[in-house]
Amino acid sequence: MHEPRKLYVKSFGCQMNVYDSHRMADTLAREGFVETQDPAEADLVILNTCHIREKAAEKVYSELGRLRKQKQEAGSDTMIAVAGCVAQAEGAEIMRRAAVVDVVVGPQSYHRLPELLAEAKAGKRVVDTEFPAEDKFDHLPAPTRAATRSRGPAAFVTVQEGCDKFCTFCVVPYTRGAEVSRPVTKILDEAARLLDQGVREITLIGQNVNAFHGEGPDGKVWSLARLMERLAEMKGLARLRYTTSHPRDMGEDLIAAHRDLPQLMPYLHLPVQSGSDRILAAMNRKHGRDLFLSLIEKMRDARPDLALSSDFIVGFPGETDRDFEDTLDLVREVGFASAYSFKYSSRPGTPAAEHDAQVAEEVKTERLAELQKLLEASKAAFDAACRGRTFDILLEKPGRQPGQLIGRSPYLQSVVVNDPPAGIGELLTVTITDVGPNSLAGVPAETPLSPALSRPLAAMEA
Ligand code: 5AD
Ligand code: SF4
């Protein structure tokens, strides 16, 4: 018998890439590949790349440099493939800059990987960055029970891809293309299979997830809220999340879903980017500060324990001190539980890159430091307020000490529990006793909050 061939996949960037990496691994499992965590022993390395900011895109070239050296030193014939958004945006450039690359494959062509690898094996260097007519999801196999188990009880399901919003700073509409929603039946089938394999929490993902408008089994267009209502009826599903949303697409039915669906976690990632109306307009965000703030008020009315996270960009072209103050002010007003913040990075081909009022690097650095200080304080205040609260956590993995397990709170905080009376893949009601910078600690509560949801369908642990 042949030794199985080994596959090492490294994901950069967003959750969509994590999901896609799993789908690629599932496709290649059929071809006899098993996953390894060690690139040195891999027969095939896939870098699943991110193009959102220059820094993210440059990472792929330094990683390729490392791989080239490693291949040379070991005299190995490891194949190297570059996937994801850098592949889509600069496929030819990758081939030119990095002779070590055998295959470049864009996000819409992952189902073609086996053929592309066969061509590469025959000595060709292949680039496939088409947007093919066929639906890749029809050709990407589902994960095996063992693969799902190794990925844990919280899983992602892609429901839509691409974006039609064209924020002036963003490459996504170009790398991921126009917005396309998957048909509802296919999403439900994928979810049912994951639940049957022991998954308890599903995060619906898409670049603009709340713009979802998939074809329903009744032939009508279903919204994200309608899809989630249906998912919430599925046996075994304890928790639902969705990301990433655009403020413009937070429909009334989606807000109502936060009130009506107990499985829908009270945590929403809603990027705002800036607190200045002038900058939001220049970004083509299609919403102002007031719309964002009034949305949050409505969401909190619907679900009083709702917490928010967001994304921010500092130093967008033309951003003045006054604009930046507006952003700080918005952060103070909302009180985010968590947030990501970035310096504006000029991306080739986007309208903002052409702007002549680019902000100086030192100014961006200062503003980012100030914003992050405020966001960290906001997060620390939210975490501190969790002390003494009782909520369910989903146990996901072992902790550092023997007997410890780590679970996720409704707000995605890591919660460490000693000797829990439950296993991985189960919900446990805990009361938070300690709050650290990176995780919380909890003890099992006397009375479970949602006993009906805590019974797993299938054990996650072998
Ligand atoms: N520069 C900096 N940050 C960016 N983002 C998207 N494009 C850029 C860019 N050109 C950020 C936004 C987005 C997140 C995923 O990345 O905040 O919400
Ligand atoms: Fe990019 Fe804007 Fe679309 Fe988000 S909504 S993916 S920031 S263009």
Q: What is the pLDDT of residues 332-356, one digit of tens each?
A: 999 999 999 999 999 999 999 999 8
Q: What is the pLDDT of residue 293?
A: 98
In the numeric block, which tokens belong to residue 211? 């713009």
DSSP-H helix ranges across 222-288: 224-232, 252-260, 277-282
Take atom 5 of ligand 2 and give the residue whose Cα is closest.
Answer: 165
Q: Is 168 helix (H, G, I), strand (E, B) or coil?
A: coil
State the average pLDDT over residues 192-210. Answer: 96
Per-residue confidence band for 453, with pLDDT thresholds at 50, 70 and 90: low
Q: Is the pLDDT of residue 456 over 80?
A: no
Within 6 A (CB) of ligand 2 lie 163, 165-167, 170, 172-173, 207-208, 246
Neighbours of 252 (CB within 10 A): 11
- Nearest CA-CA partner of 169 in 281, 89, 284: 284
First to last CA, the chain: 26
CB of 292 within 6 A of ligand 1: the answer is no
| pTM higher than the cut 0.75 | yes
Kindly give the distance from the C-alpha atom of residue 163 to the centroid of ligand 2, in angstroms, as a whole number.
6
CB-count exposure of residue 448 (10 Å: 0-12, 13-18, 19+) = middle
Q: What proportion of the chain, given as a percentage, has pLDDT over 90?
A: 90
In the numeric block, which tokens belong to residue 101? 């690359």
State the average pLDDT over residues 413-421. Answer: 97
Q: What is the pLDDT of residue 227?
A: 98
Take atom 2 of ligand 1 and give the residue whose Cα is closest.
Answer: 344
- Mutational pocket test of ligand 1: of 209, 285, 313, the residue with most ligand atoms within 8 Å of the beta carbon: 313
Kindly give the distance from the C-alpha atom of residue 284 to the centroid of ligand 2, in angstroms, as a whole number.
10
Q: What is the DSSP letter of 135?
A: -
Q: Determine the Cα–Cα distance for residues 75 and 223; give it in Å rounded to an integer.
A: 53
The ligand placed nearest to the CA atom of residue 55 is 1
Q: Is the pLDDT of residue 461 over 80?
A: no
Mean residue pLDDT across the chain: 94
347 CA closest ligand 1 atom index: 10
Question: Residue 260 corresponds to which amino acid?
Answer: D
Q: Is the pLDDT of residue 330 over 90?
A: yes
Least confident of 101-115, 135-149, 441-455: 441-455
173 CA closest ligand 2 atom index: 8
**Element (H or E) spanning 329, and its range?**
helix 321-334
Take atom 1 of ligand 2 and give the residue whose Cα is closest.
Answer: 170
Q: Is the pLDDT of residue 264 over 90?
A: yes
Starting at the earlier edge strand, list the strands of the sheet with 126-128. Answer: 33-35, 5-11, 44-49, 79-83, 103-105, 126-128
356-388: pLDDT as tens digits: 899 999 999 999 999 999 999 999 999 999 999
- Is 386 annotated as belonging to a binding site? no
State the average pLDDT over residues 55-63. Answer: 92
Output 89 or 447, whichever has higher pLDDT: 89
CB of 17 within 6 A of ligand 1: the answer is no
- Mutational pocket test of ligand 2: of 50, 165, 169, 310, the residue with most ligand atoms within 8 Å of the beta carbon: 165
116-162: pLDDT as tens digits: 999 999 999 999 998 887 788 888 888 999 999 999 999 999 999 99
Sequence-separated (6 or more) residues with CB below 8 Å from residue 96: none
| Bond prior to 244 in cis (omega within 30° of 0) | yes
Q: Is the pLDDT of residue 259 over 60?
A: yes
Kindly give the distance from the C-alpha atom of residue 115 to the centroid of ligand 1, in angstroms, as a whole number.
34
State the average pLDDT over residues 28-49. Answer: 94
Per-residue confidence band for 462, with pLDDT thresholds at 50, 70 and 90: very low
Q: What is the DSSP letter of 358?
A: P
Q: What is the pLDDT of residue 145?
A: 92
Q: Is the pLDDT of residue 405 over 50?
A: yes
CB-count exposure of residue 409 (10 Å: 0-12, 13-18, 19+) = buried
Q: What is the pLDDT of residue 244?
A: 96
